[in-house]
Amino acid sequence: MKLFKSKKKQKDREFLTGNEEFKELKGFSFKEFLHGRFLAGKSLGQHWSYLAFIVFLGVLYIGNRYQMEHLLDRQADLLKDLKELKYEAITTSSELMNMSKQSEVMERVHKAGIDLEVLKKPPRKLKVRSID
């Protein structure tokens, strides 16, 4: 009988340790989480590789987010520059069109002091006979 009781106590001890393990598996309160007690648990030691993988994925996600924000900022800057260049191209083309008018050309010629006049007769084609 004495052997039976000692075995029973050993089983009780095993049961108590199993119960404690069950408490670890059951979950933690928010207060225990804030204190960091879950880091000292036995069940967490078995899952370090999984937690490291989750942390790695989190870092990748955050890095990807920052990279996308950087690319979106760069895209917005490029679109702004493109808009300014379009306005500049339109302005330049309108100035060139204005400068190529006959009246503007004549005014510039007179300001430059070049002695040119507007033709009163249309230009003629000269035909040259080939000597064969």
Query: pLDDT category, 1, cuts 50, 70, 90?
Result: very low
Residue 44 has a pLDDT of 66
Classify residue 62: in a domain, yes or no: yes
How many structural domains compose the chain?
2
Q: Mean pLDDT over residues 54-70, rounded?
A: 97
In this structure, the answer to whether residues 34 and 54 fall within a common structural domain is: no
Instruction: Give the span between the Cα atoms of 25 and 6, in whole angstroms.
Output: 29
Q: By three-state DSSP, how is residue 126 classified? A: coil
Q: Residue 36: which H helix or E strand, with range?
A: none
pLDDT band at 76 (very low <50, low <70, confident <90, very high): very high
d(CA 70, CA 92): 33
Alpha carbon distance 32, 74 (integer Å): 44
Q: Are residues 69 and 91 in the same domain?
A: yes
Mean pLDDT, rounded, for 108-132 = 87
Residue range 15-34, pLDDT digits in tens: 545 555 555 555 667 777 77
* Across 77-91, average pLDDT: 97
Q: Are residues 53 and 88 in the same domain?
A: yes
Residue bearing the bigger pLDDT, 12 or 66: 66
The HSE-up count of residue 23 (CA atoms within 13 Å, CB side) is 9
CB-based contacts of 32: which residues, under 8 Å, 6+ apart? 38
Domain that includes residue 19, residue range: 14-46
Residue 126 lies in a domain: no
